[in-house]
Structure 1
Amino acid sequence: MELTEKIVDIIENADGKALATMVPGCLHVVPVSTVKVVNNQILLVNYFMTKTLENILENPKVSLAAWRGLAGYQIKGVVEYVTEGETFDLIVEMVADTLPDRVVKGVLVLTPEEVYDVTATKERPGERIM
């Protein structure tokens, strides 16, 4: 799935971002900070995740919401967790430049399967657009 420039811009420059995971009997939502889109995959940096990581390892289906002002998107997809390799090295280098006090534990690589427009001013908010 190819994400549009507008979707990428909102994801990377959002005022707020929240990641939802779920395992039987437990819905879990956390704020996320460092996010980068590379080759239509959304990379979320793990600095502090414990329960989120446990959930992802049990059930890799997630939902990410990102918004700026009244404009936003919800992206549903599958996450792969990486702690080494090219993607991990790219993120470690990026974080070292921008947030040198942070330690990258891993990277959640989200492959989008569905995208919804959740813009508050839209005539039909929540409409699936991809």
Structure 2
Amino acid sequence: MVKMPKEVKDMIGDPGASRTLATVDADGMVNCVPIGTFSAIDDETIVFADVFLGKTKENLEATKKASVTAWKGMNGYQVKGEFQGFQTSGDLFEKVAKQVKDALKLDIKAVGTIKAKEIYDISVGPDAGKKIA
């Protein structure tokens, strides 16, 4: 696993940033959905709430492959990672459930975790596509 720099963690957790989660099924078909609940809980781990996941959840559980992309304006990052699983109870679940309820007035089903494996700069400019970790 790799460590996410502060600017990557900040972008992933920025509610003003556009953020998506890409997955792939067992046959290699890609799926990409917007997720508004991402945050980095440490230098290696991204968490998100399962509020309306369907196909995405199936893909994560089947292949464990995930790619989180976050961008704002002309700056952004892509984190390719390994899905660790869903939690439906415990401290992390309770913390994320409260945050989502307070911010979006929605109940969550679970909290997913992803460990970062590769990080890319997707900002507009000469470093676009550059692997940074």
Given residue 77 of structure 1, which amino acid in structure 2 is its aligned partner? Answer: G
Q: Which moved more, 1:11-20 or 1:53-62?
A: 11-20
Aligned mate of 2:97, from 92, 111, 118: 92
Please provide the CA RMSD for this pair.
Answer: 1.3
Counterpart in the other structure of 1:22: 24
Counterpart in the other structure of 2:46: 42
Given residue 89 of structure 1, which amino acid in structure 2 is its aligned partner? Answer: E
Shift of 1:59: 0.8
Counterpart in the other structure of 2:4: 3
Three-state SS of the structure 2 residue aligned to 1:104 is: coil
Counterpart in the other structure of 1:105: 109
Given residue 19 of structure 1, which amino acid in structure 2 is its aligned partner? Answer: L
**TM-score normalized by the length of structure 1:** 0.91
Query: Gapped runs of 5+ residues in structure 1?
Result: none
Three-state SS of the structure 2 residue aligned to 1:94 is: helix
Cα–Cα, structure 1 residues 112 and 25, in superposed 2: closer, same or farther, change >3 Å? closer
Q: Which moved more, 1:83-92 or 1:65-74?
A: 83-92
- Following the alignment from structure 1 to structure 2, what is the Cα–Cα distance between the partners of residues 78 and 86? 22
**TM-score normalized by the length of structure 2:** 0.89
Aligned mate of 1:124, from 116, 127, 132: 127
Deviations 1:54-99 (A, max 9, x none): 1111011111110010100000001122212221111112223222
Shift of 1:25: 4.0
Counterpart in the other structure of 1:72: 76
* Larger strand share, 1 or 2: 1
Count of residues in correspondence between the two structures: 128
Aligned mate of 1:57, from 61, 66, 74: 61
Query: Gapped runs of 5+ residues in structure 2?
Result: none
Three-state SS of the structure 1 residue aligned to 2:39 is: strand
Three-state SS of the structure 1 residue aligned to 2:7 is: helix
Deviations 1:40-59 (A, max 9, x none): 31111111010100111101
